[in-house]
Chain A
Amino acid sequence: MTGTQELQKTGKLKDGTKVILRPMTKADRQVVGDFFSQLTPSVLQYVRSNVTDPQVLDKWFEYLDYAKVFPLLALIENRVVADATLHRVAYGWRKHLGTIRIVVDPEFHEKGLGTLIINELVDLAQEFGLEKLMVEFPLKAHGALAMFKKAGFSPRAVIEGLMKNRHGQDLDVVIMVMDVAAYAGRIQP
């Protein structure tokens, strides 16, 4: 007997809105393109690739490899409202370490969406056998700092003036780390 369920879960935002969490597939090219195209330059400046370039997105979708980069989408009524990735390295000194990148539609900031996604990525990291998770972002992103702290991450380093914003001004970067195994031990029924 084959399964009738999709590889997806339903979560709820603080206001009760239902959100679908599922891995990105090749069929999502259009909705992911729509998501990035409506984000402002101030949001997109922190994304590592030029996601407004269709060729960049085409390449992403051509080379989907969940073992290297696990892409997780959050959708509300078939509209992408957040895109997150869990990056893994198969060999070497970073094999135990996953890194997280996340872009949330500003319309859904402070509604519990980021926390929902991060919690899912932490659970997946555990499933993939990762021991630690790392994330880096501008120190002044106070909302992100609070969100990752809430999910069990702690700030381990601040590097002053490491990055630059889109206007060429220096940005301090915070590196936050989570011990996945220790976090799992704190889960209560």
Chain B
Amino acid sequence: MRVAVLADIHANIEALQAVLRDLDHQVDRILNLGDLVGYNASPNECVELAIKTGMHSIQGNHDQAICNPNLAETFNIYAHKAILWTKEVLTVENTRFLCGLSESLKTTCGLAFHGSPESTLNYIGLHFQAKAVLKKMKKEFWGETNVCFFGHTHHRKIWCMDIRGKVAPVEIPTDGIINLNRDELYLLNPGSVGQPRNGDPRSSYLIFDTVNHTVSFRRVGYDLSATMRKIIAADLPEFLANRLIHGT
């Protein structure tokens, strides 16, 4: 089975459409690691396309903030403004869809969560953070799966725990294709579809082949100027539009 793993779409319909075009029926399943909305200006379009394609979605912290006003208050002023705007424009059906999502998903191809297994707000960015999650994964899920997908950081990343228990990042080669070892545990972050922060403005996602146990990281260009125009037209902060040019 081939699974496309998408994360942090963030209401960027041009980016989501470009990724789906790139997939072009090459996969059996699509997994969305959360944050369908927030920051950008096409939340309804993204939720509706996610529903239409039948992708398996979980909740990110921005999706949660739609349903939980207290959580929105903890966001910084840019994210806060964007989430208040999103709440205003989201249809009742789309709001209901986001609020009905679960925070994590256990599938035959691996575990999925947005931030960490404990919270959509936690980041896995540093070694000690990855190690803590991999240790938990080894204790609770070893034998069931050795692959776990996460998002939230907007950075594509692989963390690996070898058979000795040593945790280290794995470099992603230029062709983006990695062979996974079935004896090792992996934390995989596909990067962001709608707001990449790796310094490359193209959308980032990955395809996991469960039979060959390979991962292919992919980047796709999209109509940035259309997304930026929508952000400005919605009176969202210019900063949110400009950052897309730089992929930061």
Contact = CB atoms under 8 A, between A and B. Distances in A.
Interface in A15-32: 21-23
A185 B125 contact: yes
Contacts of A185: 122-126, 128-129
B27 interface: no
Interface residues of A, number: 28
Contacts of A10: 73
A181 B88 contact: no
A141 interface: no
A66 B239 contact: yes
Contacts of A126: 76
B88 A127 contact: no
Interface stretch (B78-86, B136-144, B186-194, B218-226): B78-86
B84 A123 contact: no
Interface in B193-239: 197, 233-237, 239
Interface residues of B, number: 31
B77 A120 contact: yes
Interface string A46-78: 000000000000000000001000000000000
Given A2-B234, A5-B85, A120 B76 contact: yes
Interface string A158-189: 00000000000000000000010110110111
B125 A181 contact: yes
Given A185-B125, A188-B119, A7 B77 contact: yes
Nearest to A4: B88
A110 B223 CA distance: 49
Given A1-B234, A3-B88, A8-B77, A129 B122 contact: no
Contact of B233 (A2, A66, A127): A2
A181 B123 contact: yes
A185 B237 CA distance: 26
Given A1-B89, A129-B197, A7 B126 contact: no
A7 B237 contact: yes
A129 B248 contact: yes
A150 interface: no
B118 interface: yes
B121 interface: yes
A9 interface: yes
Contact of A3 (B118, B120, B121, B234): B234
B77 A3 contact: no
A157 interface: no
A5 B81 contact: yes
A127 B76 contact: yes
A124 interface: yes
Q: Select the residue from B77, B120, B123, B125 with max chain A CB neighbours within 10 A.
A: B77
A22 B122 CA distance: 25
A7 B237 CA distance: 8
Nearest to A21: B77
Interface string B70-106: 0001011111110011001100000000000000000
A7 B78 contact: yes
A46 B239 CA distance: 31
29 contacts: A2-B235, A3-B81, A4-B88, A7-B77, A7-B78, A8-B81, A9-B73, A22-B77, A23-B77, A66-B239, A120-B77, A124-B76, A124-B78, A126-B76, A127-B76, A127-B78, A127-B79, A129-B248, A179-B126, A181-B123, A181-B125, A182-B129, A185-B124, A185-B125, A185-B126, A185-B129, A188-B118, A188-B119, A189-B121
Interface of B: 73, 75-81, 84-85, 88-89, 118-126, 128-129, 197, 233-237, 239, 248
Given A189-B120, A189-B121, 18 more contacts: A1-B88, A2-B233, A3-B234, A5-B84, A7-B77, A7-B81, A8-B77, A9-B77, A120-B76, A124-B76, A124-B77, A127-B76, A181-B125, A182-B128, A185-B122, A185-B125, A187-B119, A187-B121
